[in-house]
């Protein structure tokens, strides 16, 4: 059996003495779209930041068959990990295209040129708005730009922290459609979401996180049928 692309084993994360992620294990297989759903404050952002190397964690984080637990952020990026943070963190006073180019700063000029054209063909809205300042984009466009910028680094695993946040349902569908489209290019995706319904529609496999721990995992269809979860996260009916 080949190892999963991302193999998180018994990871715990604390802020000072307060442990907020407890003994979490999860896997993302090559080419899969995996979601972690959970309420506000469940520890999802903390977990992603630990995988990325922004926070110290106990336990083992395996990526592409290597233990990257004690590897610095910079090297995790080089290995192909990439995080689109919840706040999207764009350069508001810079044009769309310049934001994209910054995402590919490690690449050669030629690579950036090809990658940006690929991104424009998948996200034509960004091409239309290439000279517009990022700060003047709509919420959905900003999320697309944040994703486009991450893709400029040509990641192996794209991690997204609540891409649906603040977006109208129709725009959420557009953004999630882009994720399913991206998966066909071979990028693996770890999607952290409070919007369980939308996330379960696109995922291949799902984990439920509650109070810092994984309390359930399975196919999105199984998770969507769990009566307790339906009540807590999916709304009745």
- In the complex, the residues that contact ligand ATP under the rule CB under 6 A are 15, 20, 38, 40-46, 194
What is the Cα–Cα distance from 208 to 42, expressed in whole angstroms? 10
By CB atoms closer than 10 A (0-12, 13-18, 19+), residue 2 is exposed
What is the Cα–Cα distance from 84 to 191, expressed in whole angstroms? 10
CB of 42 to ligand ATP, least distance (A): 4
Nearer to ligand ATP by Cβ, of 59 and 80: the residue is 59
CB of 71 to ligand ATP, least distance (A): 21
Nearer to ligand ATP by Cβ, of 94 and 213: the residue is 213
CB of 57 to ligand ATP, least distance (A): 12
Looking at the DSSP bridge assignments, the partners of residue 81 are 157
Nearer to ligand ATP by Cβ, of 48 and 137: the residue is 48
CB of 15 to ligand ATP, least distance (A): 3
Nearer to ligand ATP by Cβ, of 97 and 193: the residue is 193
CB of 47 to ligand ATP, least distance (A): 7
Q: Where are the alpha helices (DSSP H) in the chain?
A: 44-52, 73-79, 96-103, 109-122, 124-128, 139-151, 169-183, 196-202, 220-225, 227-229
8 A C-beta contact, residue 188 and residue 156: yes
Nearer to ligand ATP by Cβ, of 8 and 96: the residue is 8
8 A C-beta contact, residue 28 and residue 63: no
| 93 contacts: CB under 8 Å, gap ≥ 6 | 133, 134, 135
């Amino acid at each position: 059996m080949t190892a999963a692309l991302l193999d998180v084993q018994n990871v715990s994360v604390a802020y000072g003495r307060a442990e907020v992620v407890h003994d979490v294990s999860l896997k993302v297989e090559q080419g899969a779209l995996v979601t972690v759903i959970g309420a506000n404050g469940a520890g999802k952002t903390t977990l992603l930041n630990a995988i990325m190397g922004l926070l110290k964690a106990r336990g083992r984080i395996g990526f592409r068959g290597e233990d990257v637990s004690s590897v610095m952020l910079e090297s995790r990026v080089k290995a192909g990990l990439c995080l689109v943070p919840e706040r999207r963190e764009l350069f508001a006073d810079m044009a769309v295209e310049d934001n994209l180019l910054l995402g590919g700063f490690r690449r050669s000029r030629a690579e950036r040129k090809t990658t940006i054209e690929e991104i424009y063909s998948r996200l034509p809205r960004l091409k239309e708005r290439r000279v517009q300042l990022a700060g003047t984009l709509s919420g959905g466009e900003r999320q697309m730009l944040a994703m486009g910028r991450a893709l400029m680094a040509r990641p192996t695993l794209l991690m997204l922290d609540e891409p649906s946040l603040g977006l109208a349902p129709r725009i959420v569908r557009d953004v999630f459609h882009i994720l399913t489209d991206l998966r066909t290019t071979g990028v693996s995706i770890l999607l952290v979401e409070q919007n369980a319904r939308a996330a379960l529609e696109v995922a291949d496999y799902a984990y439920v996180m509650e109070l810092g721990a994984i309390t359930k995992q399975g196919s999105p269809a199984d998770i969507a049928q769990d009566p307790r979860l339906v009540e807590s996260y999916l709304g009745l009916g």
